[in-house]
Amino acid sequence: MHPVLRDELHDPRRPRHRDLLRGARRRPAATRLVGPPVPGGHVRRLAAVALTLLLVGCSGGAGTGDGPAKGDGLGFQTGDGTVTMVDPADRVAAPVLAGPTLDGEEISTADFAGRMIVVNVWGSWCAPCRAEAPHLVEAAEQLGDDVAFLGVNTRDLDRAPAQAFERAFEVTYPSIFDPDGALLLGFAQLPPKAIPSTVVIDEEGRVAARILGQVTATTLTGVVADVREAQ
């Protein structure tokens, strides 16, 4: 276990995520845009099978990976930071993501209707997730009240390591506790096929962009700006 997280597990203090959104500032895009988007069918495999493949995104410690995962044909792969943008005319509705947060409170993407939403899929056991956490916090601060941030914590069978992760990196936005990854199976278009992955949902509730693998604040704020300008 990461030493910071090990120390945090003994810290009884647990911050509440009351202030989900922060003050605004935008940076220029620094993304690699690849497209057109690949249309996806509904995933009909069991969550356990899908998440076994998702773990490839965090294998090897460094998190950059060395190529697509081999296996069952679902297309799961290691995350290399590739950004895929979806033209407004081609966007489809994102699934409603709902469930208990790491604090035990209920939350849903429906709570943020009318706002852009950044959804980050992560696990406390994932080295690239630890590397990108400060960047996500920075991006949330920069983007401000117009953009909601929501994490989906997966493959942490106990809340304690994930809570320690959030304390260690001072994460200011909530995360849904989704240990078996069932929520991830709802994405028909641009599913999060690696851990970490980040999906941007536009103001109309449609999937607008996906980043596979570790993301920086500059890349993420640039993607959000591009999504906004394309609408």
DSSP string for 36-92 = SPPP-PPP-S-HHHHHHHHGGGGTTSSS--SSBPPSSSS--B----EEEE--GGG--
pLDDT at 8 over 80: no
Query: 86 or 80, which is more confident?
Result: 86
Report helix angle 127-143 to 159-168, nearest 10. 60
Residues 6+ apart with CB under 8 A from 200: 116, 117, 118, 119, 207, 208, 209, 210, 223, 224, 227
- What kind of architecture, by CATH, is found in domain 32-230? 3-Layer(aba) Sandwich (3.40)
Distance CA 56, CA 39 (A): 22
Cα separation, 148 vs 164, whole angstroms: 22
pLDDT tens digits, one per residue of 29-79: 333 343 333 334 333 343 443 444 455 456 444 333 333 333 323 333 457
Do 124 and 162 meet the contact criterion of CB atoms below 8 Å apart?
yes
- Residue range 204-213: average pLDDT? 97
Mean pLDDT rounded to a whole number for the chain: 77
Helices (H), 90-183: 127-143, 159-168
Predicted confidence band at 80 (pLDDT cuts at 50, 70, 90)?
Answer: confident
Question: Is 64 in contact with 213 (CB distance < 8 Å)?
Answer: yes
Asked if 223 and 142 touch (Cβ cutoff 8 Å), the reply is no
CA distance 220 to 119: 11
Could you count the other beta carbons within 10 Å of the beta carbon of residue 103?
A: 16
